[in-house]
Structures are given as structure tokens and as C-alpha cells.
């Protein structure tokens, strides 16, 4: 597929819209102009010509850019949807944060539903957004100076077949650990004065529990002074795979004030676990869950729809098994294959209707069990153009996940491949600072990173 447009700004937006479809045209020619308050979009798609005029008030440059993208994507989506007889669950929306778009409408004094209808979002997904926003009430807060802290521990027992992260098996990266933890100590110490109104702390991976207890203790000690971390602040450790759990690590978390953990089976099928390269069993998950219960953590369980050869029935039984544990949060991801994932080498893209059926079934099962959606996001190359949704019991939603997905608070992120954000609510602007991805380069550049990040947060 080739695309030619007279507006470079819209090139990636149009490509994203075209890639939603299994069937795609060989050529797309696009021309855009804006005159007298009218957005003009003209297309030639495989030799057929189309022209559209859209009128919408333009208050400033930010609104103009938003509408420029919106109308171009919408009109190309409508052409391709009509041509190929395909409809997407999120219509012409290609962004990763549907709820953020809804909030933008609401903050402008408008109901978001008409916009979602105009963008051809399904009724089911529009309702999912409404429910998510309802669950976020009392947590969602746009306020300059609010800060979340993220600590990156990119180490895992092994690399899963679907994973595109920078993580590598810890046996190959263990030699970097002492120097890496020295760098985290330095970064966290330097970052202390950049934390203002601390909302939450999140130690993620990778698999943080892949670290032996003494190393894990070093990380927890380095985090402790951040923002004068006090009892009651939301503090999450994405402990990870069940096969690396033990009592010593769990006691450490409790001693340092951690109040939330993630135990991530991804599936309740031993056969699927083998196929995706996991080194644990379903029995290992139950052992880790039971071990964790006595410490009183709020627990999240992760599941993935669309894993290798997993059937609809097997997935649904997995969701029901997750519910049966009594977990406070259950996150349902939809498989997304990016460059670097082993499965990406085996199948270029999954177009399987049963995966969308799995996602819809998970919504029914979790809703029936009393869970509510509390955050969501989408990814490129996601099977069936679906989404990832975090579900929660009443009063157990994760502040960090809401802040990050809605981009309402600064995110002070330390470690390799950590991306810090500054949110300027009044200016409607978000600035980003990314640290180097690989361990060796991060370690070699730590002093420069600290200087630049301090300036970034001044």
C-alpha cells in the first residue's frame, strides 16, 4: 500500500486508519486544505475519487490540529469501511486513550457520546468508556504538581513469545545488576526534590521478583525516601510471574509499605503456558496467590486474550478462574504483536474473530461478578483492533494506572527505558524525557541522564 498526501502532518494518521483493515487499497492519494472555516479532504482510492467538506469551530491552533486529524481519518475510514464491508469496534479512532478523548469533550461542556457515534464507535465500546469514567470518579484529578513515581526493573526469568519489551532472561543480564542498582540509587536520590504531591509509586518490569531478595531490598530502600513516602500512599510492585515468589520477598514488600502487587499468570492453561515460553504452571500461580494472601495486599491478575492456540472456551474458563480467586483487580489484555516478539516472526498479524469474542465474553463475566472497568488503553497491531481493560472491585482501583492512562499527573520514571512525563494542565501540553533503552548504555550515561532529568523537572 502506498500513500501520497500534500499534508505531511497527516501521513501517519492516514496510514493508521488504513491499517485498521484486513483488506487495503494498493494506492491512496490525499489532498487537504482549509479555507473559510471549512476542512476539505479529497481522496483517490484505487482509482475512485471522493471529496468531503466538514465545518467545525476552530478556537485555536491546538483545536485546529485535532480537527485536521479527526476529519481526515474519519473520511478515509468511511471510504474503506464502505468499500470492504468492514466495521471496527472503535470505528475511526486510532488513538490509544479513548477515555482521554471523552474527557476532552466533557471538559468543553459537551457530551462525548455524539462524537463517538460520529466516529462510528460501537455502542458497546461507547458504554465501556462511560462506565470507565464513572468508576474513575473520586480518583481522576487534573492538577499541576501531582506526581507518580515509576521504577523500571527490566529483568525476567525468561522472555515470553509475545513480548517485545527490552527484557532478556536474567541469567543473561545478571552481570549488569549491581551497576544497574547503583544507578537506580543515584537517580532516586537526585529525583527526591522533583516529587511534589506524591500520588503513587509503581515498581514495574520486567518481573521485579526475578531479583533475589537482597537486590530487591536495595531497590525498596532506594525508593523509601522519595516524597517522604508515608503510610497510606499507593505503592505497587508488579511482582510478576508466580515461579519467582517466595515468603522473603513478600515480607520485604510488607515491611517497606507496599500495598498492591500483581501476580500475572496470563492464562489458566498449562498447555498455553508451555507454548508461550512461560516456565511456571497454573499450580504455581495458586501457590503464589495463597502465599500472598496473608500479607493483605490488593492483588491484580493479568490475563491475555489471543495467546497461541488458546480456544474461546479455555480463555473464558481462565477469566472465571481469575474471578474465583477473589482478586481485587483483573486486567484483560488483548494480544498485541510488535517488532521484537517471537510470535511476530511466526504470524504477521492475528485476524481471528474469536479473539474479539473472547474480549466481549470477559466483559460479560467480569461485569456479572461485580467488577467495573476503571482504565483502558489500546495498542497498535492489537488483534481485532480491540483494547486492554483493567477491572476492579469497588474501592480498589489503582491510582497509578488511571493517572498514567489519562495523562493527568507528572510521571517521574527512573531506570532503563523509563519515560518521564510532565503534564502542564493549563497549557494543554505534555513533555517527555526518555532514558536509554538498553542496560549498558543506560549505565554508561547515568550522570548525564540525572543532569538532564533534573532540568526537565525544574
C-alpha cell at 411: 510521571
**Portion of the chain with pLDDT greater than 70, in percent:** 92
Q: What pLDDT was estimated at residue 165? A: 58
Q: Would you state the pLDDT for residue 368? A: 98
User: How many angstroms separate the CA atoms of 56 and 36, rounded?
Assistant: 11
Judged against a pLDDT cut of 50, whether residue 344 lies above it is answered with no
Supply the pLDDT for residue 349: 41
Higher pLDDT, 279 or 75: 75
pLDDT score of 345 more than 70: no
Residues 6+ apart with CB under 8 A from 147: 194, 195, 196, 197, 198, 199, 227, 409, 410, 411, 412
Per-residue cell: 428: 494543554
Distance between CA 29 and CA 27 in Å, rounded?
7
Q: Are 91 and 113 in contact (CB under 8 A)?
A: no
Confidence of residue 45 (pLDDT cuts 50, 70, 90): very high
Query: Which residue, 164, 153, 169, 131, is CA-closest to 335?
Result: 164
Q: What is the sign of the dihedral through the CA atoms of 221, 227, 228 and 230?
A: negative
Taking the C-alpha atoms of residue 375 and residue 97, their distance in angstroms, rounded to an integer, is 9
pLDDT in the model for residue 168: 63
pLDDT at 458: 86
Mean pLDDT of 100-108: 95
pTM: 0.92
| CA nearest to 149, candidates 235, 210, 261, 253 | 235
- Residue 57 reports pLDDT greater than 50: yes
Predicted local confidence at residue 428, as pLDDT: 82
pLDDT at 338 over 70: no
Question: Is residue 92 pLDDT above 80, yes or no?
Answer: yes
Mean pLDDT score, 183-199: 92
Q: What does the pLDDT read at residue 277?
A: 87
The arithmetic mean of pLDDT across residues 160-174, rounded, is: 64
Residue 269: C-alpha distances to residues 281, 319, 328 (Å): 8, 11, 21
pLDDT at 346 over 80: no
Amino acid at each position: 500500500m502506498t500513500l501520497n498526501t500534500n499534508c505531511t502532518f497527516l501521513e501517519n494518521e492516514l496510514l493508521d486508519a488504513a491499517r485498521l483493515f484486513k483488506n487495503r487499497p494498493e494506492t491512496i492519494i490525499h489532498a487537504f486544505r482549509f479555507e473559510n472555516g471549512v476542512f476539505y479532504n479529497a481522496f483517490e482510492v484505487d482509482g475512485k475519487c471522493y471529496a468531503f467538506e466538514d465545518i467545525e469551530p476552530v478556537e485555536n491552533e491546538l483545536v485546529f490540529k485535532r480537527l485536521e486529524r479527526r476529519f481526515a481519518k474519519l473520511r478515509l475510514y468511511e471510504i474503506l469501511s464502505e468499500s470492504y464491508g468492514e466495521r471496527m469496534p472503535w470505528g475511526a479512532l486510532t488513538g490509544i486513550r479513548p477515555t482521554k478523548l471523552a474527557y476532552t469533550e466533557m471538559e468543553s461542556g459537551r457530551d462525548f457520546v455524539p462524537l463517538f457515534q460520529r466516529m462510528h464507535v460501537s455502542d458497546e465500546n461507547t458504554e465501556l468508556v462511560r462506565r470507565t469514567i464513572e468508576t474513575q470518579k473520586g480518583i481522576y484529578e487534573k492538577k499541576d504538581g501531582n506526581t507518580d513515581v515509576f521504577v523500571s526493573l527490566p529483568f525476567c526469568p525468561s522472555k515470553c513469545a509475545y513480548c517485545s519489551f527490552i527484557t532478556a532472561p536474567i541469567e543473561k543480564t545478571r552481570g549488569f545488576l549491581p551497576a544497574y542498582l547503583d544507578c537506580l540509587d543515584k537517580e532516586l536520590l537526585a529525583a527526591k526534590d522533583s516529587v511534589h504531591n506524591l500520588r503513587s509509586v509503581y515498581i514495574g518490569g520486567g518481573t521485579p521478583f526475578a531479583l533475589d531478595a537482597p537486590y530487591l531490598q536495595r531497590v525498596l530502600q532506594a525508593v523509601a525516601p522519595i516524597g517522604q513516602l508515608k503510610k497510606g500512599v499507593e505503592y505497587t510492585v508488579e511482582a510478576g510471574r508466580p515461579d519467582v515468589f517466595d515468603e522473603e520477598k513478600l515480607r520485604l514488600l510488607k515491611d517497606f509499605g507496599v500495598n498492591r502487587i500483581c501476580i500475572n499468570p496470563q492464562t489458566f492453561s498449562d498447555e498455553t503456558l508451555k507454548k508461550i515460553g512461560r516456565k511456571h504452571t497454573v499450580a504455581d500461580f495458586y501457590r503464589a496467590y495463597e502465599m500472598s494472601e496473608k500479607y493483605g495486599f490488593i492483588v491484580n491478575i493479568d490475563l491475555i486474550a489471543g495467546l497461541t492456540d488458546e480456544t474461546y472456551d479455555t480463555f473464558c474458563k481462565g477469566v472465571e478462574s481469575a474471578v474465583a480467586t477473589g482478586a481485587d483487580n483483573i486486567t484483560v489484555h488483548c494480544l498485541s504483536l510488535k517488532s521484537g516478539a517471537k510470535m511476530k516472526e511466526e504470524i504477521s498479524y492475528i485476524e481471528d474473530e474469536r479473539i474479539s469474542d473472547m474480549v466481549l465474553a470477559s466483559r460479560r463475566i467480569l461485569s456479572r461478578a461485580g467488577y467495573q472497568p476503571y482504565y483502558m488503553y489500546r495498542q497498535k497491531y492489537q488483534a481485532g483492533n480491540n483494547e486492554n481493560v483493567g477491572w476492579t472491585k469497588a474501592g480498589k482501583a489503582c491510582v497509578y494506572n488511571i493517572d498514567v492512562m489519562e495523562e493527568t499527573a507528572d510521571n517521574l520514571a527512573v531506570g532503563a527505558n523509563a519515560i518521564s512525563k510532565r503534564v502542564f494542565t493549563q497549557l494543554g501540553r505534555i513533555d517527555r524525557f526518555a532514558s536509554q533503552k538498553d542496560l549498558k548504555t543506560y549505565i554508561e550515561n547515568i550522570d548525564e541522564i540525572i543532569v538532564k532529568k533534573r532540568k526537565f523537572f525544574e
